């Protein structure tokens, strides 16, 4: 199999994930209402993020340089899939802008309107909350909005040291 074919399949799998998120959300929305659908889907996606975050726990609560390097190294296609731009990395914070996103691209291709894409970005991005918080950091994000460039802006801050005697 050619490298290009493998790359095409990789991107298609991420778009498949986006389409599943939307279809599950849309079905839930019809059955239990939008607010409840958002809550259910975000809780499930966050749980997956928490599982992913375990691989970064060695860097928590404050090794932001180590976290940056490990996180960026794990972005598919040598980082091109999300095209991260590190805006800041110092002892007080790590800020990363994801300038591209195959999930958002899939929702655009499928004809969702701007507000619906923004909602799906907000739902999907909760995976990052689970990931970074499970690794021991504080986290917030600004997700894509209509008429904005790029995609998500990730803000990672040192967490609170675990002082348990555990």
The CATH number assigned to the domain holding 7 equals: 3.30.1380.20
pLDDT of residue 125: 97
Main-chain phi, psi angles of 112, to 5 degrees: -65, 145
**How far is Cα of residue 70 from the mean position of the Cα atoms in its chain?**
15
pLDDT of residue 149: 83
Residue for token digits 């609170």?
160
| Within-domain flag for 92 | yes
As for how many domains the chain has, the answer is 1
| Within-domain flag for 34 | yes
Please say if the pLDDT value at position 66 is more than 90.
yes
The two structure tokens encoding residue 64? 């932001």
pLDDT of residue 16: 98
The 10s digit of each residue's pLDDT in 97-127 is: 999 999 999 999 999 999 999 999 999 999 9
User: What is the span of the domain harbouring residue 88?
Assistant: 3-157
Instruction: State the burial class of residue 5 (Cβ atoms within 10 Å of its Cβ: 0-12, 13-18, 19+).
Output: exposed
| Within-domain flag for 166 | no
| Within-domain flag for 22 | yes
| Within-domain flag for 163 | no
pLDDT of residue 47: 98
Main-chain phi, psi angles of 87, to 5 degrees: -90, -30
Instruction: State the pTM of this model.
Output: 0.93
SS3 sequence, 104-166? HHHHHHCCCCHHHHHHHHHHHCHHHHHHHHHCCCEEEEECCCCCCCCCCEEEEECCCCCCCCC
The 10s digit of each residue's pLDDT in 119-161 is: 999 999 999 999 999 999 999 999 999 988 889 999 999 999 7
pLDDT of residue 163: 54
- SS3 call for 93: strand
| Within-domain flag for 164 | no
> If you average pLDDT over residues 43-65, what whole number do you get?
98
């Amino acid at each position: 199999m050619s490298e290009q074919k493998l790359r095409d399949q990789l991107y298609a799998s991420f778009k498949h994930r986006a389409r599943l998120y939307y279809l599950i959300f849309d079905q839930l929305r019809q059955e239990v209402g939008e607010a409840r659908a958002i809550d259910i889907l975000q809780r499930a996606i966050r749980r997956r993020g928490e599982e992913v975050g375990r691989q970064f726990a060695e860097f928590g609560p404050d090794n932001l340089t180590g976290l940056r390097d490990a996180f960026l190294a794990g972005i598919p296609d040598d980082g091109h899939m999300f095209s991260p731009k590190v805006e800041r990395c110092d002892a007080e914070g790590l800020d990363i802008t994801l300038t591209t996103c195959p999930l958002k691209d899939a929702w655009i291709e499928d004809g969702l309107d701007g507000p619906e894409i923004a909602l799906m970005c907000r739902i999907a991005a909760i995976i990052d909350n689970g990931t970074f918080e499970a690794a021991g950091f504080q986290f917030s994000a600004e997700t894509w909005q209509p008429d904005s460039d790029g995609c998500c802006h990730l803000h990672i801050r040192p967490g609170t040291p675990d002082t348990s005697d555990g």
